[in-house]
Chain A
Amino acid sequence: MIGRASGYSAIGLDVGSRCIKAVQFARSRKGLNISAIACIERSGKGERGTLLAAEAGSLREVFARQGFRGRAVVLAGAPGRMLSGVMELPPRSSGAPIDQIARMELARANGCPPDSLELSWWELPAGKRAQDGTHVFAVGLRHADAHEAIDGLEAAGMEVRALDSGTLGISRLCALLSTSPATPVTGLLDIGWSGTSVAVLLGTTLVYQRLLPAMGMSHLHSRLVSELLIDAEAAEFVIRRVGVSNELSEEQRNWELLEDARSVVADHADSISAELKASLSYATRRYDATGAASVLASGGGASVPGLLDRVQRASEERIRAIRPADIAASPKDPLAATLAMDPRLACAAGLALEPTAALQLEAATA
């Protein structure tokens, strides 16, 4: 939420496997501006969503240097540690304690004590099939994981205002873009280094989410290294510069392993397409949604040359990358402006938009 007094939002913080992304917005008379944006490479190997103590300690200083204001942070929980699921509960009219039942169900499904996790849930729209019960989408996080994520930042002097889901952060960003009722179904494709997340929004409600650890860019990187027998830097170059794009330089065209590399990347894209298509198909049928679906892609994978085109062709869905600059004016600094166009920072931008502010912005846009 953008504070009325300060005019600055909380810092949206997306801790990725390879870099830490942070975005902060400011509101002015002309609208929403990106006041500060940063993408900090992680020195050591860290899990997505979890900061090392040394990283957390230096983060505040880095933020101050990069022009961030305040110390309030909205953090995304580690995707691998988030607990989520769709569950059928008794109807509301029965007077049953739905919150308690949802907690028990999620705890049972994940094998943890019910009182050891923090839970949030929301009701899903009525589906195509007639149902007596209430279908809810529950998201939870174990207290131990939450404390681990927060302790380091608070020890460094930051104030964690909320611990959110990264997918919901991206959905807030999408809510500002896709307001047309003609496309009620929106697919979210977050292609990260450690995994890919596929989610489906019905309107602005998250109705489906699936994490695909084997479809992260690290998996593609490993395949390139192992199948083409190239070193890690070359594989990195293929991912960042070659991809499956046809726009290649003369030097790239003369690379003898070009087609093999493109084939591996294309295969990876096709795998993602298949998962995306299946997910969208399920949601469309489940909720009887009509009209063409649109897909918004984020994460480092969305920047791989030609990857989104390949996925679009394979899945037959309209796909576009989503970036912080799509909803707010870019900063004047060239480096910051470049980062504002990077789909990797979409999640951090969405996290910076806490629900209240996002709804206000949505209403203003409509």
Chain B
Amino acid sequence: MNGVNLIPASRRELAARRSRIRAWAVILAGVAILSAPAAAAFRAMWYLDSGPARLAIAAAQTETQDSGARLLKVRGETAKLNQAEMASRMVGEHPDWSLLLQAINLVRGDSVALESFDLRFTPPVAAAAAAPATSPTAGTEAKPTVAAVSERYTVNMRGIATDLSRVMTFVGRLEGLGVMERVAMKQSRAENNRGVVVTGFDVECTLADRLVAPTPKDTATAEVPAPGDRP
């Protein structure tokens, strides 16, 4: 032993702490001085390199917006075309009523006279939409399915006949045409027409339901798209 240090330990610890703080301050200052140019260089490089990338991002965003606008436009056009298609179909596929009138006139005979002829059109409706089934465990609703879309025509005829049997014969012949789904004798009555007693009648005929293809509108209303599904 050739040396001792009798400075109180508390004082030495304090001095050592001060020394460490000074050393760390110097180290931190050195690191800051050294890292400042690196940070500046990195920042400069970032800005220099980011130009093309920023342009590419902006171009992509613009393209996305344009694509969205084009998609909306196409959707609008599609809807217009669908409507036009429906209109042309309705007009193009309209029945030739002259054939029906000729057939009715043929089965009428000489003892039945028609006073009025009313043809009504019932617009197509979803004929058989399946009831939504719920799953108690999954809690999800099953998609409603559209089985068919049908349109219906109703013919109300009013006329007179020499007697009731002629009316019934007329009704039977109407049913015999095969185009009527249902022929109903709504009313019969005795009338005095120009001093002659005749039998008046009201007949309602329902033409057979005609299945038509569902329109896009029907499909859109009937089928609920799942979230995330793209149109």
- Interface residues of A, Cβ cutoff 8 Å to B: 77, 118-120, 122, 137, 139-141, 143, 146-147, 150, 159-160, 162-165, 168-169, 171-172, 175, 204-206, 354-355, 358-359
Contact = CB atoms under 8 A, between A and B. Distances in A.
B7 interface: yes
A164 B3 contact: yes
A178 to B, nearest CB: 13
Specify which of B4, B5, B9, B15 lies most central, judged by the most chain A CB atoms within 10 Å of its CB.
B4
Majority SS of interface residues in chain B? loop
Interface string B3-31: 11111110100010000000000000000
A205 B9 CA distance: 24
Interface in B60-97: none
Contacts of A147: 8, 11
B6 A163 contact: yes
B11 A355 contact: no
Interface residues of B, number: 11
Given A146-B11, A147-B11, A150-B11, A172 B6 contact: no
Nearest to A165: B4
Contacts of A141: 6
A358 B5 CA distance: 15
A82 B6 CA distance: 10
B192 interface: no
B15 to A, nearest CB: 8
Nearest to B1: A122
B8 A143 contact: yes
A204 B4 CA distance: 14
A306 B2 CA distance: 30
Given A118-B7, A120-B4, A160-B7, 18 more contacts: A118-B8, A119-B6, A120-B5, A141-B6, A146-B6, A146-B7, A147-B8, A162-B4, A165-B6, A168-B1, A168-B2, A168-B4, A171-B2, A172-B3, A204-B2, A354-B3, A355-B2, A358-B2
A169 B4 CA distance: 9
Specify which of A150, A163, A205 lies most central, judged by the most chain B CB atoms within 10 Å of its CB.
A163
A366 to B, nearest CB: 15
Given A146-B11, A147-B11, A164 B6 contact: yes
